[in-house]
Amino acid sequence: MFQKKENYHVAIAGATGAVGEEMLDILASRKFPVHRLSLFASERSEGKLYTFHGEEVFVEKLGDADFSGIDLILGATSSALAKIYAQKALKAGSVLVDNSSAFRMESLIPLVVPEVNGHLVTVNQPIIANPNCSTAQLVVALKPLHDAVKLRRVNMTTFQSVSGTGKEAIDELLDQTKAILSFKEAKRHVYRDQIAFNCIVNWDCDSESGDSEEETKIISETRKIMNEPDLPVTATTVRVPVFRSHGQAVSIETENKLTLNEARAILAEAPGITVLDDPGRKIYPTPLDTVGQDNVYVGRVREDRSVENGLHLWIVADNLRKGAALNAIQIAECLIRA
């Protein structure tokens, strides 16, 4: 059981990755009550130095981690690693807020986006799962509309930045772009296909359904977080040559009709959402607008005249923040308030 205190011993597992470093910054900027910070990563990052609240913190090897006395672990590793160190965390009595897909669909483990289902966070939960980055921003925008008029169907296409794959993918896009502009070969290491000046859609597809792993995650996680196990959801995921922030073109059908102004008003009043939507002035959110921002941005709200009670939405958010690090720390904030 999580013990309430004035300050906490917090650890980040996977501290040197893109999400782990974002967690470090957000813990500081949101003034999370940390009295001691431990950082863990792979062996090659052991000894790397970070500064937190003016103090030096050295990275320790995750494989040798001793979680004794650690109140809260923020996980930013692969699913395989999470399953291993989660057992050590449980034995040590630490609470794990995990960003991997390892525990998301476990029936007894809550999958949480605080603006949607933060009430599920209790001090009795040893593991709380953080959703896929695309799912997180999607459900923040869907929840207030669902509460108002109930969703019938969700159909979406993502435009996902390379930072969702990690630091190596960011480097690959940069290196390929430089190479192509210098009339050199664009080398591929992270992605099978060239990502610079290209779009990639075929990510580890299931041989029977044809859905990618990412598409399957969005479908199943959306249903779980929204507590709508039968909600029709379909997704197509596209990796685009953008460094940071994911865009989503989303079409929804609702049980009752909303005017465009009603939909915009509902979204504007909802927690965690910024509406940027002025067609006459060509105002809408872009990935660059959302980098470093905490909110989910919504624009291009328009009627889908191909179906009854249909709406189109353009949803954009910083995938390293609301899609990952920020959402995990918001869960931790729910925990200390529970």
Sign of CA dihedral 171, 173, 174, 180: positive
d(CA 110, CA 130): 9
Residue-level pLDDT at 204: 75
Give catalytic residue positions.
133, 246
Residue-level pLDDT at 3: 83
Question: Please, how many CA atoms are within 13 Å of residue 310, restricted to the half-sphere of its CB?
Answer: 13
Per-residue pLDDT tens over the stretch 74-90 = 999 999 999 999 999 99
Mean pLDDT of the chain: 95
Indicate whether 240 pLDDT > 80.
Answer: yes
Per-residue pLDDT tens over the stretch 128-155 = 999 999 999 999 999 999 999 999 999 9
Residue-level pLDDT at 235: 96
For the chain, list the domains and their CATH numbers: 8-130+324-337 (3.40.50.720), 135-319 (3.30.360.10)
The amino acid at 194 = Q
Per-residue pLDDT tens over the stretch 249-266 = 999 999 999 999 999 999
Residue-level pLDDT at 257: 95
d(CA 122, CA 107): 16
Three-class secondary structure assignment of the chain: CCCCCCCEEEEEECCCCHHHHHHHHHHHHCCCCEEEEEEEECHHHCCCEEEECCEEEEEEEHHHCCCCCCCEEEECCCHHHHHHHHHHHHHHCCEEEECCCCCCCCCCCCECCHHHHHHHCCCCCCEEECCCHHHHHHHHHHHHHHHHHCEEEEEEEEEECHHHCCHHHHHHHHHHHHHHHCCCCCCCCCCCCCCCCCCECCCCECCCCCCEHHHHHHHHHHHHHHCCCCCCEEEECCECCCCCCEEEEEEEEECCCCCHHHHHHHHHHCCCEEECCEHHHCECCCHHHHCCCCCEEEEEEEEECCCCCEEEEEEEECCCHHHHHHHHHHHHHHHHHC
Per-residue pLDDT tens over the stretch 158-217 = 999 999 999 999 999 999 999 999 999 999 999 999 999 999 997 777 767 788 999 999
Q: What is the mean pLDDT of residues 238-252?
A: 98
Q: What is the mean pLDDT of residues 88-113?
A: 96
On whether the CB atoms of residues 116 and 143 are closer than 8 A, the answer is yes
Per-residue pLDDT tens over the stretch 38-80 = 999 999 999 999 999 999 999 999 999 999 999 999 999 999 9
Closest C-alpha among 155, 160, 157 to residue 304: 155
Q: 273-275 and 246-254: which strand pairing? A: unpaired
Q: Which two tokens stand for residue 270?
A: 């909802």
On whether the CB atoms of residues 120 and 104 are closer than 8 A, the answer is no
Q: What is the mean pLDDT of residues 271-287?
A: 95
Q: What is the mean pLDDT of residues 1-26?
A: 94
Residue-level pLDDT at 4: 85
d(CA 122, CA 310): 36
Residue-level pLDDT at 207: 65
Cβ–Cβ contacts within 10 Å for residue 222, how many? Answer: 25
On whether the CB atoms of residues 160 and 134 are closer than 8 A, the answer is yes
Indicate whether 35 pLDDT > 90.
Answer: yes
d(CA 253, CA 308): 7
Its pTM surpasses 0.75: yes
Indicate whether 10 pLDDT > 90.
Answer: yes
